Amino acid sequence: MRMWWFITTLAISAFICNSPVYAYDNNPLQDICVAVNDSQASVFVNGKICKDPKLATANDFYFSGLNVSGNEVPGLGFALKTVDVNNMPGLNTLGITLVRADLEPQHIGPFHMHPRATEMITILEGTAYAGFLVPDPANFFKSRLFSKILNPGDVFVFPQGLIHFLYNMGYKKATFLFYFNSQNPGFVSIPYSIFASNPPISDDILAKGFQLNKTEIAELRKKAHSGWRSQQSFLHTQGSNPRPLVKGEAPTSAPQLMLDICIAVNDSHASVFVNGKICKDPKFATADDFFFSGLNVSGNPATLFGFAATRVDVTTMPGLNTLGISIVRADLESQGLVPFHTHLLATALITVLEGTVYAGFLVPDPENFFKSRLFSKILNHGDVFLIPQGLIRFVYNVEHKKATFLASFNSQNPEAIMIPSSIFATEPPIMDDILAKGFQLNKSEIAELRKKFS
């Protein structure tokens, strides 16, 4: 009996250790988990502790001011404004973060990487040169550069953990939105993290590692410490209290990568199906696989509801495969509606670029499954609203002019389930009796709804 228990335990342990880890943050175990300001807490958790869901309000899922530049990092020529769990506590456990960045002409967002997140950027203003480095599997001392010149409406993706940069090559300010599929993506700056470490790395090691003499090392230390102090001053003025890296953060929303890049192959006729898309040989990958142009232009309108959508997902940017992030531009006509729908695979972060919209989502009442709570907000230009994964939501244009927003998802394929059409336009159709019973409608009303949604 003891031997059987030992073998069973060993088998279960082996299964757990060898099971795929899912990306990028822990999956939520409840509908909402609004972060509590726990800076003085004596108990530390992976993320932040939650307040009682009954005390949550729409403000926990709201941020205003993304239409305005943040404070400039002294001496570095860029300004950041972050929407994360520290200023939008409803983000807790939902695995997504948004940053606005403004980069002065001829300045660079320095080489860095995010250990826990893929980064998807879209440029709103200006022209920039962006690139990331992929290690050469045949020679660890070499890497491949994937780079693009980006103009307004272009989208580029930096895979998780790869070194990347952003350079404003124009003569006016460039403005970007950065989306991360983690509530705490982490930031490792390659110059500062090495040359301004505490305690410092010895000169001999730096000189050997970078093939520099000690005079050059001393000069780099001086510059790095100057930049580090600028960043510390900037964080202090922002009131930010960044959380240190935490071991064992289980990623969510997409399978963990086993390769640096896995470019999707058009496999519509494939006889083998995988969770995601099959990959092409990394040697054949190009920068175009990580590039999309046209997010500054509206898509074709859906006449029934008066909205148009332009998708940047794995079908239009194959380099997104396995990286767990996507973005959609939505344009709403006057009084247009993005109808009731849900994304089972992703949390959504909405940023209004133009106009005024009314957005809301429904949280089931744990004491009565037939009831729910509505969390809603009027959103203006620069406002950000968070909609947790799997909850029913909507967005409505309350004005008599067009409204435009961006929605980012922490999945390469969030797959929208439209509540009206998915029910009334199924193939084969759901029986009238079931629909009539489920929606408390008569059969003539059911027939009318079928006609509209078909």
Could you tell me which residue, 245 or 360, shows the higher pLDDT? Answer: 360
Tokens of 376: 């809603």
What's the whole-number mean pLDDT along residues 108-136?
Answer: 90
pLDDT for position 140? 65
pLDDT at 432 over 70: yes
Q: What is the DSSP string of 320-344?
A: GTTS--EEEEEEE-TT-EEEEEEET
Specify whether 179 is located in the same domain as 323.
no
* Structural domain contains residue 4: no
* Structural domain contains residue 267: no
Specify whether 71 is located in the same domain as 209.
yes
Picking from 228, 247, 262, the residue at the C-terminal end of a domain is 262
Most confident of 39-48, 183-192, 314-323, 401-410: 401-410
Closest CA to 181 of 164, 157, 163: 157
pLDDT at 154 over 90: yes
Picking from 227, 262, 297, the residue at the C-terminal end of a domain is 262
Most confident of 76-80, 211-215, 299-303, 401-405: 401-405
Specify whether 241 is located in the same domain as 358.
no
The answer to whether the annotation marks 119 as part of a ligand binding site is yes
pLDDT for position 249? 36
Q: Which residue has the tokens 């003025």?
A: 237
* Structural domain contains residue 225: yes
What's the whole-number mean pLDDT along residues 388-404?
Answer: 91
Specify whether 209 is located in the same domain as 293.
no
CB atoms within 10 A of CB 127: 18
Task: Decide if 241 contacts 86 (C-beta within 8 A).
Answer: yes
Counted domains in the chain: 2
Specify whether 252 is located in the same domain as 167.
yes
Which of the four pLDDT bands, split at 50, 70 and 90, describes residue 283? confident
* Structural domain contains residue 434: yes
The overall average pLDDT reported for the chain is 80
Task: Decide if 99 contacts 127 (C-beta within 8 A).
Answer: no
The answer to whether the annotation marks 112 as part of a ligand binding site is yes
Specify whether 358 is located in the same domain as 394.
yes
Specify whether 298 is located in the same domain as 252.
no
* Structural domain contains residue 360: yes
* Structural domain contains residue 269: no
pLDDT for position 10? 37
pLDDT for position 256? 53
Closest CA to 145 of 167, 125, 115: 167
Contacts of residue 32, defined as CB under 8 A and 6 or more positions apart, other chains included, come to 53, 56, 60, 90, 363, 388
* Structural domain contains residue 240: yes
pLDDT at 344 over 90: no
Picking from 221, 244, 262, the residue at the C-terminal end of a domain is 262
* Structural domain contains residue 359: yes
CA 185/CA 183 separation, integer angstroms: 6
pLDDT for position 241? 38
Could you tell me which residue, 103 or 36, shows the higher pLDDT? Answer: 103
CATH of the domain at 357: 2.60.120.10
CB atoms within 10 A of CB 259: 12
The answer to whether the annotation marks 343 as part of a ligand binding site is no
Q: Which domain holds residue 120?
A: 24-262
CA 139/CA 30 separation, integer angstroms: 45
Specify whether 250 is located in the same domain as 317.
no
CA 176/CA 187 separation, integer angstroms: 17
What's the whole-number mean pLDDT along residues 102-116?
Answer: 88
Could you tell me which residue, 28 or 284, shows the higher pLDDT? Answer: 284
Specify whether 170 is located in the same domain as 295.
no
pLDDT for position 25? 64
Which of the four pLDDT bands, split at 50, 70 and 90, describes residue 277? confident
- The alpha-carbon radius of gyration of the chain (Å, integer) is 24
Specify whether 316 is located in the same domain as 233.
no
Specify whether 256 is located in the same domain as 292.
no
Segments in 22-63 forming alpha helices (H): none
Closest CA to 355 of 291, 292, 307, 427: 307
Specify whether 435 is located in the same domain as 346.
yes
3-class secondary-structure state, position 97: strand
